[in-house]
Amino acid sequence: MKNSSLKVMFIMATVILLIPVIAMLLTAEVRWSLGDFLVAAILLYGNAFLAHWMLGKITSTRGRLIAVGSLLVVLILIWMELAVGVFGTPLAGS
């Protein structure tokens, strides 16, 4: 994989991080702290890096789809747990 694909993934992660920034400017209902942004950045950039690494190591299309799809499912589950406490772990945000 080229480094340009990693750049695209990092740009996409940055765009996702900009969504709550814009929402915070437009409404008082969204209130993220610096810690929230740090955790989100670690999750998003970490997943972008892992996806890039997996795509470079796995050659079959099916394997790539399964690996990156699994990575995205784990990201979404962790994000949901941190946001609203779907599973009720001590990490739950509510």
Q: Read off the pLDDT of residues 11-55 as tens digits, 9 standing for 90 and up.
A: 999 999 999 999 999 999 999 999 999 999 999 999 999 999 999
In 3D, which of 65, 91, 66 has the Cα closest to residue 78? 91
Residue 55 CA to residue 21 CA, distance in Å, equals 30
Residue 3 CA to residue 44 CA, distance in Å, equals 17
pLDDT at residue 74 tops 70: yes
pLDDT, position 31: 93
pLDDT confidence band for 87 (50 / 70 / 90): confident
Residue 60 host element (H or E): none
The set of residues, in sequence order, having a beta carbon less than 8 Å from that of 57 and lying 6+ positions away, is: none
